[in-house]
Amino acid sequence: MKKRRFLRSLAATTALASCGRRHADTTSGEAPVLHLYMWADYIKPSLVQRFEQENRCRIVIDTFDSNEAMYAKLKAGATGFDIAVPSSYMVKLMKEQDMLAPIDRGMLPNIVNISGDVANKIYDKLMEHSVPYAVGQTVIAWRKDRIEKIDPTWAVFERPDVKMRCTLLNDMRETLGAALKALGHSINTRDEQKLAAARDLVLNWKRNTAKFDNEAYKTGIDSGEFSLVMGYSGDLFQVVSDNEKVGILVPREGITMSCDEFVILKEGRNPLLAHQFINFMLDAKVAAENMQEIGYVCPNKAALEQVPRSFLNHPAIQIPDEVKPKVEVIEDLGADLPKWTKVWDEVKAG
């Protein structure tokens, strides 16, 4: 999978475009460096290079594999990041923890492209501290050459023919959320009995599961190491686009949907360049090009008019009509978070 290997390489290294002094953040004449902290495989490399060339700067990308891991690293004292890309529910917590700088909308003329439908569903509806970047959902991928008949249900993880050939996300909210959906409950429940039932169901799935994983499932389902994986729609869009042996399932019980958002960290060193980068990514042509590469929908109404219908109808992106009413957005749990961490710890220890 050449494309994905290159994306991961970009995320792990520093881009080497030449830089000037126009946005310099040092007194030595060195050009600025914009540090991004985001999910892997989440931006088209050529767009990064274009921004570097146009703004005479360098971009360094570090990656995280869960919102909780990102938050924990920043709270532990990690510094130097200018922009992060958390999901909406994590934006709420980061705002409450005074970790975010305010968004200067006057520096973002392209913010008018953001879809009002999405803006109304996120925590920061006025976009005072965050700007929507991409929307995705959690789905299932399966090997068509390994499994002949399969139903779109979370119960597929109980099938004996996938024993030790399947993976679940190493993400408390996603995996327990899938179990809650399978049981007919909300992914945002605070009810301890429902959480206990979800724990027991995940423990049942775990007997079949090779591992909990947020990264290797992509190459694993592509190579045939795994026959069935739970994963993020954009990741699986990239796999399916390159491998006709892989198919997508959208469980009929319902799924999670998330909106990841640009935030400018309060401790960042380049707020001006950060705003310029966000505005660049909100440009209609840039967003249209980017979403077709990463496989996630950018909630950019001007950009959506420029992408082909085939992209919007891709099985990793299109949600069946009968499932749409059962789609939920993950919310911040607030004081009830320990209820979830307790049962998740029991899953991991079980």
Average confidence (pLDDT) over 274-283: 98
pLDDT digits (tens, 9 = 90+) for 3-47: 343 344 343 433 333 333 233 343 346 789 999 999 999 999 999
pTM: 0.86
Q: What CATH topology corresponds to 136-257+311-349?
A: D-Maltodextrin-Binding Protein; domain 2 (3.40.190)
Q: What is residue 5's predicted lDDT score, i.e. its pLDDT? A: 37
Average confidence (pLDDT) over 120-148: 92
The domains spanning 2-135+259-307 and 136-257+311-349 adopt the same CATH topology: yes
Q: Are 130 and 85 in contact (CB under 8 A)?
A: no
Average confidence (pLDDT) over 183-188: 97
Pick one of 3.40.1160.10, 1.10.3720.10, 3.40.190.10, 3.40.50.300 as the CATH number of 2-135+259-307: 3.40.190.10
Query: 1: burial class by Cβ within 10 Å (0-12, 13-18, 19+)?
Result: middle
C-alpha distances (whole Å) from 263 to each of 13, 30, 38, 129, 293 are 22, 25, 10, 6, 22
CA distance 77 to 165: 38
Q: Are 85 and 39 in contact (CB under 8 A)?
A: yes
pLDDT digits (tens, 9 = 90+) for 68-99: 999 999 999 999 999 999 999 999 999 999 99
**Phi/psi at 187 (5° precision):** -70, -10
Q: What is residue 16's predicted lDDT score, i.e. its pLDDT? A: 34
pLDDT at residue 319 tops 80: yes
The more confident residue out of 184 and 332 is: 184
CB proximity list for 72: less than 8 A, separation 6 or greater: none
pLDDT digits (tens, 9 = 90+) for 145-162: 999 899 999 999 999 999
Q: Are 201 and 179 in contact (CB under 8 A)?
A: yes
Q: What is residue 4's predicted lDDT score, i.e. its pLDDT? A: 41
Q: What is residue 12's predicted lDDT score, i.e. its pLDDT? A: 40
pLDDT at residue 110 tops 50: yes
Q: What is residue 23's predicted lDDT score, i.e. its pLDDT? A: 35
Please report, for the chain, the start and end positions of each structural domain, with discontinuous segments joined by +: 2-135+259-307, 136-257+311-349
pLDDT at residue 170 tops 60: yes
Q: Are 35 and 232 in contact (CB under 8 A)?
A: no
pLDDT digits (tens, 9 = 90+) for 53-65: 999 999 999 999 9
Across the chain, mean pLDDT equals: 90
pLDDT digits (tens, 9 = 90+) for 297-313: 999 999 999 999 999 99
Q: Are 51 and 279 in contact (CB under 8 A)?
A: no
Query: 322: burial class by Cβ within 10 Å (0-12, 13-18, 19+)?
Result: exposed
Q: Chain centroid to CA 211: how far? A: 20
